Amino acid sequence: MSLGASARLRGERVLLRPWRDDDLAPFAAMNADPEVMRHFVAPLTREQSDAFAQRARLQVEQAGFGLWALELPQLRFAGFVGLSAVPFVLPVPDLAPDPHEIGWRLARAAWGQGYASEAARLALRHAWDVLRRPQIVSFTARGNQASQAVMRRIGLARRAEFDHPRIAEGHPLRPHVLYAIEAPGARATVVGS
């Protein structure tokens, strides 16, 4: 795996790759799908979707990692999976500084086939082997069982509950759960100490 702007991660069935112009339309379609966006405050408009893709695209191109576009054999664009810095202070104690989050959003046609977990394992390996992160976190609305199942499948464990600081008080999506995992070396140290 190479460092740098062209970093792409290939698994048995999945490819995490930089974004392309022709990803924007299918991305907007999935971001407008109420079922895909059930655990978010609202679906995204085309403009919001394009802006999100543009941020993800720049991050991947400039840093060599980020929320990669997900390509499957039968679907040239199936959503995103990847790593990003958490843009606010997580109100949870005992986390490593500057935590990076692993996350995913797939089009419905790609659900139920193990693609999110396979791609997330690639991203997690990148976090350990290339980025040398000490810890990776992931969080979602308390009711988002599908996303929490992915977190558990790739080895994260539930650490805390917190209220999302950017969601209004009283909103049903405000209660969140936080999962985390330590880098393999750090885990070995803890076990061996």
Separation CA 96–CA 10 (nearest Å): 28
CA distance 150 to 6: 26
Tell me which stretch binds ligand COA (CB under 6 A): 48-56, 104-112, 159-167, 178-186: 104-112
Q: Is 122 in the site for ligand COA (CB under 6 A)?
A: no
Task: Name the closest residue to ligand COA (Cβ).
Answer: 114
Q: What's the CA gap between 39 and 176, in Å, rounded?
A: 10
What is the C-alpha end-to-end distance of the chain, expressed in Å? 32
Give the residue, chosen from 102, 106, 136, 180, that forms a contact with ligand COA under the rule CB under 6 A: 106
Of 136, 129, 190, which Cα lies nearest the Cα of 159? 136
Contact between 39 and ligand COA by CB under 6 A: the answer reads yes
Least spacing, CB of residue 107 vs ligand COA, in Å:
8
Sign for the pseudo-dihedral over CA of 108, 79, 157, 144: negative
172 binds ligand COA (CB under 6 A): no
Secondary structure (3-state) at 36 = coil
43-102 positions binding ligand COA, by CB under 6 A: none
Q: Minimum distance from CB of 102 to ligand COA (Å)?
A: 10
Between residues 65 and 139, which has the closer beta carbon with respect to ligand COA?
Answer: 139
How many beta carbons lie within 10 A of that of residue 46, not counting itself? 14
Q: Which is nearer to ligand COA, 24 or 109 (CB)?
A: 109
Q: Report how many residues bind ligand COA under the rule CB under 6 A.
A: 19
Say if CB 72 and CB 115 are below 8 A apart: yes
Phi, psi of 47 (to 5 degrees): -65, -45
Per CB under 6 A, contacts with ligand COA among 131-150 are 140, 144, 146-147, 149-150
Nearest residue (CB) to ligand COA, 44 versus 64? 44
- Contacts with ligand COA by CB under 6 A lie at 36, 39, 103-106, 111-117, 140, 144, 146-147, 149-150
